[in-house]
Structure 1
């Protein structure tokens, strides 16, 4: 039986082999990832930052880092892809969702740093996020993206999302997936 969207997310982790045979650890994000999340966001190219935050974030605020790492386990979920870097972990990709108040739908986002793009990492992160959303009883997943973000459009189509122009802003598209 599927759990409801209000069921807290459990701690998950697994190794993922990408198309180029590189390996990452994918796991749930935790509040202790604050420094790694800040470094991840600061490492994003200006284009990736624009696509993820619609150009509105140059340097991540403490409030944004808090929001991205300290999730409400009843309505949010996030996975990070990490690689070892010295004695710490470096985040190279992240996917997350936030559920609607009734738990029927969720908005998602995925971001991968430039040097880890085109390896299948975004797709792997999203497949795990979609699976978790289904397990939690969410019926619809969507994202709102800039229309010029062709990589996201290709990824969304590959994952089975349907795309349409945002009726409120023709510079944006809405990707939707029935779960």
Structure 2
């Protein structure tokens, strides 16, 4: 996987229009390109549509419960990103002339300011290309830069894809002492 930092241009060689701010064009394992950048307020509708397109199992894994509709309250919470205590990176691709969200990684700091709970979600049709790894690497880099000591993720014990990703990225796995159906993946920064 190759990360190419980009600077604004009218249209780059991958077909993305001029983009201001931090962003990366990632070359995934299958040769496709995806734009990764911090989540912005104008991504609100993309985030809602992304969650709605996820399978019920993917929504259950992401939210550790059933989410049928994306409520305005949930969307408000997901869009709150201050770039220190909360951070989110969105992955975008062109789909019929529109930018479509195909993945997102995010963290939220604990009250102690030392650790962050993190999550990553990739659309079913974009899995097994290295996108989750790319999204998480950007998140890990920012968490380190912001001075956090650890990232952790609370996941369903039967979520094999998260188990695989967490292991690949160097997270340790332990059972949740309060709920035997959950595990906690932790990465010391």
Same fold (TM over 0.5): yes
Alignment of 1:76-87 (within 5 A): 76-87=86-97
CA distance in 1, matches of 2:155, 2:123: 17
Give the secondary-structure state (helix, strand or coil) at the position aligned to 2:186.
strand
Of residues 12, 18, 23, the one that matches 2:33 is: 23
For 1:123, the equivalent position in structure 2 comes to: 133
Query: In the alignment, is residue 167 of structure 1 matched against residue 177 of structure 2?
Result: yes
Offset of residue 86 of structure 1: 4.1
Query: Relative contact order (alpha carbons < 8 A, sep ≥ 6): 1 or 2 greater?
Result: 1
Higher mean displacement: 69-78 or 32-41: 69-78
For 2:47, the equivalent position in structure 1 comes to: 37
- Asked whether the 8 Å contact 1:15–1:25 carries over to 2, the reply is yes
Q: Deviations over 1:45-85 (max 9, x none)?
A: 11111100112311110111111123233310000000023
Superposition misfits of 4+ residues, deviation over 6 angstroms: none
For 1:147, the equivalent position in structure 2 comes to: 157
For 1:132, the equivalent position in structure 2 comes to: 142
- Asked whether the 8 Å contact 2:56–2:66 carries over to 1, the reply is no
Give the secondary-structure state (helix, strand or coil) at the position aligned to 2:78.
helix
For 2:9, the equivalent position in structure 1 comes to: none
For 2:13, the equivalent position in structure 1 comes to: none
- Asked whether the 8 Å contact 1:31–1:69 carries over to 2, the reply is yes
Structure 1: stretches of 5+ with no match in the other structure: 1-10
TM-score of the pair, normalised by structure 2: 0.86
Give the number of equivalent residue pairs.
169
Structure 2: stretches of 5+ with no match in the other structure: 1-20
Give the secondary-structure state (helix, strand or coil) at the position aligned to 1:24.
strand
For 2:57, the equivalent position in structure 1 comes to: 47
Which has more radius of gyration?
2
- Asked whether the 8 Å contact 1:105–1:141 carries over to 2, the reply is yes
Query: In the alignment, is residue 91 of structure 1 matched against residue 107 of structure 2?
Result: no
- Asked whether the 8 Å contact 2:51–2:59 carries over to 1, the reply is yes
Q: Deviations over 1:123-145 (max 9, x none)?
A: 11001100110011011100000
For 2:112, the equivalent position in structure 1 comes to: 102
